[in-house]
Structure 1
Amino acid sequence: MKNNKSFDRRGSGRNKKIYFNADDKKENKFGKKNKFDNKKRYVSTAPFRKKSPKTPKENDGTRLNKYIANSGICSRREADIFIQNGVVEVNGKIITEFGYKVQPGDEVFFDGRYIRPEKNVYVLLNKPKGYISTTKDEKARKTVLDLVANASPYRLYPVGRLDRQTTGVLLLTNDGDITKKLTHPSHEIKKIYHVTLDKKVSVEDFGKLLEGLRFEEGIAKVDKISYIEGAPKNEVGVEIHIGWNRIIRRMFERLGYKVEKLDRVMFAGLTKKALKRGYWRILTDLEVNTLKML
């Protein structure tokens, strides 16, 4: 056997020894020679070292559209349009770059008004009759914001609308992205209503509602419809994903029915269980995360 020789290498081989062994030609259990036969064997002589922790990256700021959305103004996509139109200023300079990043200490103005990011708040309301789902009303009627006035220090906005006489689940938030997502037709957010009519609904009309009725906006149809268990036949449960104005009432009116009560019992997986009419609660973290995954 030849004497082992070793030498140090620079670069990636530093602190390693290279051994030569011409007689190392053992066969493995499959009868084949080891693939490393007659090749250099590397054995590290340096102690194991822990990798040095990565240097934290410097704060590279927040994208301007996200900054605006987090301020409760609108969604990121809408913010891009406002930025492009020169509505936004940073430190007194109009910014039209989509990728511009706001740094700590920067002053951002939207349409001449100073803004800053807010903590996102999500409020679930069991809406009673007599309240409209707008932020303000020219006729000084009661709005849903009157009911949630103490829910958050930030301004909240209804996600979609329930008409004045409709009751039930209504989400309010200052998260522009969530609002856009839950109201955009492409996401087909599911809603379930308990509908009370002036007379029994026929099975034939069930079929018409499932097949669809034509309106100015297009064809409106329900996804599911059934009688309410244990209730008279003039009470039905309706599942629908379209969000056209007063569409449930309009569909039944087209078929000759009058809607006496309309109560939304589910919206985007959220229900009013254990929530009294006119009361609200803050969504749990799990509920918020579920909404973001829809």
Structure 2
Amino acid sequence: MSRNDKSSDGKFSGRQGGGQRKKSYARGNAPIKKAGDKTSAKPTSAKSTEKTEGIRLNKYIANSGICSRRDADIYISSGNVTVNGKVITEMGHKVKLTDEVKFDGRTLNPEKPEYFLLNKPKGVYVTGSMEKGGKTVMELMAKATKSKLDPVGKLDTQAMGLLLFTNDGSLAKKLGKPKNGIRQIYHISLTKPLSPEHLDKIKAGVILEDGKVKVQDVSYIADRPRNEVGLETNSTKNHVIQRLFKSMGYEVEKLDRVVFGGLTKKDLPRGRFRRLTDQELINLGML
């Protein structure tokens, strides 16, 4: 997720000195410009100029939503801003979109922050294709925006369900920290029924090679076979669900993340994405 006045007949007319009338042209009948005529060159867009020559640092800061350009100048002169690790106090300093700009230690993004939620299908890679022709989530998100989006957190290739995308590096970093423990609920199908003893063991916490897996809740799914369970955890360990069950002799046949933070799959078909609502963003910011 009109700027530009002509006469009603589309003609431009006027008078020059000495009473001589200027030539008048209707739309589409302007004289043909010769090759090499400098006036025939297309104007360079602001965005392409910014990519090659850079943009003023105060504009970069203002675009990131921190403050106005005028206030940005004050912060720059006070030494609050660094570019690629170097404090910049020079007015009019230009930066490129590839530069790392920080304000009081916080990395800035000159693009408008965008947030999307994808209901990932099974067999789609998150971080890249390991097989020739394998599909990635970035292909599913290609038409969402022109901004560069990144997935927040991980989701195994064979897993399905909710995956958050954003160009807001600060929020992505916050949600990805293990200590923040974002709430995740999975619908899990096993190749065989889960015994009550192992259900209680999971509730108590299973110790794996990289530490104990804390589970907030786990239970059988009502009116379903006992090989289907729901599990809530805030763990960010790699392949944690599969490893947890494998340690007790079970194989995960189906894994579906149905809740991520306060986000759910409601009205979001498999393989589709949507923008987050303002309320959802507020909720995520409070996590």
- Asked if structure 2 preserves the Cα contact closer than 8 Å seen for 1:182 and 1:268, the reply is no
> Which residue is 1:239 aligned to?
232
CA distance in 2, matches of 1:102, 1:214: 54
Verify: 1:61 aligned to 2:72, yes or no. yes
Verify: 1:122 aligned to 2:143, yes or no. no
Verify: 1:107 aligned to 2:94, yes or no. yes
- Asked if structure 1 preserves the Cα contact closer than 8 Å seen for 2:193 and 2:227, the reply is yes
Verify: 1:160 aligned to 2:153, yes or no. yes
SS of residue paired to 2:71: coil
- Give 1:206's match in structure 2, choosing from 184, 193, 199: 199
Structure-2-length-normalised TM-score? 0.66
SS of residue paired to 2:283: helix
Q: CA deviation at 1:199?
A: 1.2
> Which residue is 2:86 aligned to?
96
- CA offset digits 1:146-190 (Å, max 9, x no partner): 001010110100000101000001001000011011110111111
- CA offset digits 1:112-167 (Å, max 9, x no partner): 69997101110100000111112x44655311010010101101000001010000
CA distance in 2, matches of 1:245, 1:102: 45
- Asked if structure 2 preserves the Cα contact closer than 8 Å seen for 1:124 and 1:280, the reply is yes
> Which residue is 1:3 aligned to?
none
CA distance in 2, matches of 1:180, 1:145: 19
- Give 2:246's match in structure 1, choosing from 247, 253, 266: 253
SS of residue paired to 1:60: helix
Structure 1: where are the runs of 5+ without partners? 1-56, 65-79, 89-94
1:112/1:122 CA distance change after superposition, 3 Å: closer
- CA offset digits 1:185-236 (Å, max 9, x no partner): 1111110000000111111101211222222221113210011112111100
> Which residue is 1:187 aligned to?
180
- Give 1:215's match in structure 2, choosing from 201, 208, 211: 208
CA distance in 1, matches of 2:90, 2:236: 36
- Give 1:284's match in structure 2, choosing from 250, 274, 277: 277
- Asked if structure 2 preserves the Cα contact closer than 8 Å seen for 1:198 and 1:259, the reply is yes
Q: Which amino acid letter does the alignment assign opposite residue 96 of structure 1?
A: K
CA distance in 2, matches of 1:58, 1:282: 29
- CA offset digits 1:62-84 (Å, max 9, x no partner): 878xxxxxxxxxxxxxxx9xx6x
SS of residue paired to 1:126: strand
CA distance in 1, matches of 2:140, 2:90: 35
Q: CA deviation at 1:96?
A: 2.0
CA distance in 1, matches of 2:281, 2:90: 26
Verify: 1:197 aligned to 2:187, yes or no. no
How well do the aligned residues superpose, as a CA RMSD in angstroms?
A: 2.7
SS of residue paired to 2:202: helix
Aligned residues: 208
Q: Which has the larger radius of gyration?
A: 1
SS of residue paired to 2:70: coil
CA distance in 1, matches of 2:155, 2:216: 19
Structure 2: where are the runs of 5+ without partners? 1-67, 102-107
Q: Which amino acid letter does the alignment assign opposite residue 282 of structure 1?
A: R
